[in-house]
Amino acid sequence: MVQLLTKTYSFEEYLAYDDGTDNKYELVNGELKLLPIASGFHALILVLIYDILQTEIDRIQQQCKVMPGTVGVRTAKKKSRIPDLVILSESQCQELRKMSAAVF
């Protein structure tokens, strides 16, 4: 029986990883997991939720930003997820401007 070995990535290696494509990956227990492309229905729901969240943020006059699935969230030592939407405070947005990789 042949056993395939998969590389385990550190968080720093994950941040630097580039396979030369536009693919998005999450880090799960040190392994890269390719994110599938969202369905059209899923994308429409995201737009609706984005609009609802942004409208409420504007209504209550908070200095926050709703960000689409472009910002990673570190959830453990060897885990990073890319949520469909994330809300960032103004200070997080300032910090994001200085980051080489958009991961909190």
pLDDT band at 104 (very low <50, low <70, confident <90, very high): low
- Phi, psi for 3 (deg, rounded to 5): -110, 125
Residue range 43-102, pLDDT digits in tens: 999 999 999 999 999 999 999 989 888 878 888 888 889 899 989 888 888 888 887 666
Q: Which residue has the tokens 């939720």?
A: 49
Task: Tell me which H or E stretch contains 93.
Answer: helix 90-98
What integer pLDDT is reported at residue 70 of this predicted model? 80
DSSP 30-69: TEEEEPPPPPHHHHHHHHHHHHHHHHHHHHTT--EEEEET
What integer pLDDT is reported at residue 79 of this predicted model? 86
Sequence ranges of the domains in the chain: 11-98
Between the alpha carbon of residue 31 and those of residues 43, 45, 71, 91, 100, the distances in Å are 26, 29, 18, 30, 21
What integer pLDDT is reported at residue 20 of this predicted model? 92
Q: Is the pTM of this model over 0.75?
A: no
* Direct distance between the N- and C-terminal alpha carbons of the chain, in angstroms, rounded to an integer: 41
Residue range 28-40, pLDDT digits in tens: 999 999 999 889 9
Among 3.90.1570.10, 3.40.50.620, 3.40.50.10480, 1.10.3720.10, name the CATH number for the domain at 11-98: 3.90.1570.10
